[in-house]
Structure 1
Amino acid sequence: MTARPLVIAHRGASGYHPEHTLGAYELAIQLGSDAIEPDLVVSKDGVLIIRHENEISGTTNVAEKPEFADRMTTKVVDGEELTGWFTEDFTWAELSTLMCRERLPELRPANREHDDKHGILRFIDLLEIADEAPGGLSLVVELKHPTYFAGLGYSFEALLTQDLFLAGWRTDDPRLIIESFEKSIMVRLRELGIGSQHFYIMDNLHTAFDELVWARSEGVPSISNNDELSDAGLEAFAGRLDGLALASSLLFDGTEEELKNGQAIVQKAHDLGLKIFTWTLRPENEFLPPMFRTAEGPGSRGNWQDFYEMIWKLGVDGAFADHPDLAVRTRP
């Protein structure tokens, strides 16, 4: 690793404000974040919307809006059956009437003070925020469910290009990093020159949806993210992607032996010209490996500082954090 690792504000400073709100983004900038991570989904009329998921009942007041009661429905998204309200069933004009709320109210009750203070943002709104940020700010943009949305007729490639053009950004602006849990769209965007860097997000015991679809169509077994982290898997990514965004559990579970294994994965990736980000640094006991938890409840902070310092010892190029100030404080 030749540069100081990035602190990437996960959905903004989402440990202090409801995620993906103007308040969360503004605070993330104030706390010294190098980058902000928005999640993009699509509206009915093809507007790129910033939400954690296309099902929005857990992050907005949509369930309390009588005019939208008949939009509640059940869908299958990436093989999972979900019931609620979905962005692709609303125009942007309709979505703009909703207010944002804390997604984890039981764990982060203080954040509820900011409920209903901010509306949903569009991607183009965040591009403007990044332009106005002092000292430069990068965006690590996550594309949600690209295969699912492509099946509905929406093209992330076209929609990204449109918003970047309208905002006056080059498609390959160096501030624009793009990531997804599906590798196929990352390869396509890299070939098209949309985004300056392209990261494949990987989780423990997870298989990408586009991988499942491809394997089913070819009649062959699918390959899990864990398998893709083999030497052969990493070599296959070299030259096709710029990096991997790995769940911290794929690199470190709290033991010294696992730390060495994680360092070896990061070093192998670096040797192949791949960068490694990891996610997500959260200080609450609920999210820490058992050895870093304290006796207080799941929403109380555990031995987060020790855990964060171990994560940085992996040699990663960046880490996503809900509380970016804590990540900045421990960064080497």
Structure 2
Amino acid sequence: AALGVAAAPAAAEPNHGESSHGESSHGHADEPIVIAHRGASGYLPEHTLEAYQLAVALGADVVEPDLVLTADGELLARHEPMLSGTTDVAEHPEFADRKTTKTIDGQPVTDWFADDFTLAELKTLRAEERIPELRPQSAAWDGKFELVTYDEVLDYVDGLGREVITYPEMKHPSYYKEQGLSIEDALADLLEERELDEEDSPVWVQSFEYPSLVEIDERIDNPVGLNIGGSGEISDADLDLYAATLDTISLNKDRIVPRDEDGYLLEPTDVVERAHERGLEVHVWTFRNENSFLPADFRKGPKEAKWGHYRAEYELFFELGVDAVFSDYPDKAVAARYWSKF
């Protein structure tokens, strides 16, 4: 029934290059933006059209498709080039000989890789839940939904009759570079073809690889942002560099509020304030309801899959002034944003 919920109010509009503390360059001056992380991925298998549709219906301002390349150069919505963790590829005997070992981020990985399949072949696969032990409600949909391209996601958004922002992430650009491929060119080509490569286009672009963002920024005028994982302080020198070349930094939550060795929260850092002083927006990831992902302060009981006091975590980061949150449960982020006003 949730899949049939009516679409939510219009999303934010990007406004490249005018970000400052308290005045978002992406259109929300007074409240943080809710980004549906891989769609409504807490409820349905991630990066499916159905997960994106549900995210919009639940009130997300932005949907986030991660992008990988296929053998025929299409941009597929998947979290990584490897397929076994989120599809039924292992159940297809016709593809048994495609399993191979490649190097990703300097590490050998044995799996089936999207870039060894044509889009037509990938369309025969079906999506599966990544963490079924924590999300049986999503795993119940295993085998129901096909894989989709970014082009198809844009077609869906175009048909809504109102503006909804997509926030594509280029996954593992260096991996493709080593094969003589360019995910940057593939994305820029598609955005140019669809006339979505302008400052005010409803598309923001992100990556974990800074050189990849510098490269694609030469071809498109969309807002671009760097994803920064791990923990620890981000230096003023790095923030100066990012402010001179980017619009946004998207941070692991631990970069803003660290945790101790037992998972309890420590004092917040000042990275949000320092980024805002330089005109950078700060997005933060990833908000999930399950105890397994929450800081120990907000867990409820010993069961990993049980939902904890997730609203308290949203409120903490809202109070610190972040500009956007990535959430697997966008409806809960929207609700927390509403209640944080009171």
TM-score under structure 2 length normalisation = 0.86
CA RMSD, 1 decimal: 1.6
Alignment of 1:7-18 (within 5 A): 7-18=34-45
Are 2:160 and 1:154 equivalent residues in the alignment?
Answer: no
Question: How far is the alpha carbon of 1:132 from its aligned partner?
Answer: 2.0
Are 2:326 and 1:320 equivalent residues in the alignment?
Answer: yes
Alignment of 1:212-251 (within 5 A): 226=232, 229-251=234-256
**CA distance in structure 1 between the aligned counterparts of 2:82 and 2:265, rounded to whole angstroms:** 39
Question: How far is the alpha carbon of 1:167 from its aligned partner?
Answer: 3.6
Alignment of 1:178-327 (within 5 A): 178-192=205-219, 194-205=220-231, 226=232, 229-253=234-258, 258-259=267-268, 261=269, 264-327=270-333
Match of 1:215 in 2: none
Cα separation, partners in 2 of 1:141 and 1:175, compared to 1, 3 Å: same
The answer to whether the Cα contact below 8 Å between 1:253 and 1:289 also exists between their aligned partners in 2 is no
**CA distance in structure 1 between the aligned counterparts of 2:183 and 2:101, rounded to whole angstroms:** 23
Question: How far is the alpha carbon of 1:165 from its aligned partner?
Answer: 4.0
Which piece of structure 1 moves more, 172-181 or 42-51? Answer: 172-181
Match of 1:211 in 2: none
Unaligned runs of 5+ in 1: 206-225
Question: How far is the alpha carbon of 1:164 from its aligned partner?
Answer: 2.4
Which piece of structure 1 moves more, 79-88 or 274-283? Answer: 79-88
Cα separation, partners in 2 of 1:173 and 1:95, compared to 1, 3 Å: farther
The answer to whether the Cα contact below 8 Å between 2:48 and 2:147 also exists between their aligned partners in 1 is yes
User: 1:43-73 CA distances to partner (integer Å, 9 max, x unpaired)?
Assistant: 1111111101100101111000010000011
Cα separation, partners in 2 of 1:249 and 1:256, compared to 1, 3 Å: closer
Match of 1:144 in 2: 171
Question: How far is the alpha carbon of 1:166 from its aligned partner?
Answer: 4.2
Instruction: In structure 1, give the amino acid aligned to 2:326.
Output: F
Alignment of 1:58-137 (within 5 A): 58-137=85-164
Q: How many residues align?
A: 307
Question: How far is the alpha carbon of 1:79 from its aligned partner?
Answer: 1.1
**CA distance in structure 2 between the aligned counterparts of 1:138 and 1:109, rounded to whole angstroms:** 29
User: 1:287-315 CA distances to partner (integer Å, 9 max, x unpaired)?
Assistant: 01111112141111011111111011110
**CA distance in structure 2 between the aligned counterparts of 1:87 and 1:313, rounded to whole angstroms:** 41
Instruction: In structure 2, give the amino acid aligned to 1:253.
Output: P
Q: Where is the helix percentage greater, Structure 1 or Structure 2?
A: 1
**CA distance in structure 1 between the aligned counterparts of 2:189 and 2:236, rounded to whole angstroms:** 38
Question: How far is the alpha carbon of 1:258 from its aligned partner?
Answer: 1.9
Cα separation, partners in 2 of 1:327 and 1:151, compared to 1, 3 Å: same
The ranges of structure 1 where at least 4 consecutive aligned residues each deviate by more than 6 angstroms after the TM superposition are none
**CA distance in structure 1 between the aligned counterparts of 2:229 and 2:187, rounded to whole angstroms:** 25
Instruction: In structure 2, give the amino acid aligned to 1:164.
Output: L
Instruction: In structure 1, give the amino acid aligned to 2:203.
Output: L
Question: How far is the alpha carbon of 1:171 from its aligned partner?
Answer: 5.1
Question: How far is the alpha carbon of 1:266 from its aligned partner?
Answer: 0.8
**CA distance in structure 1 between the aligned counterparts of 2:213 and 2:238, rounded to whole angstroms:** 16
Question: How far is the alpha carbon of 1:330 from its aligned partner?
Answer: 0.9
Unaligned runs of 5+ in 2: 1-21, 24-28
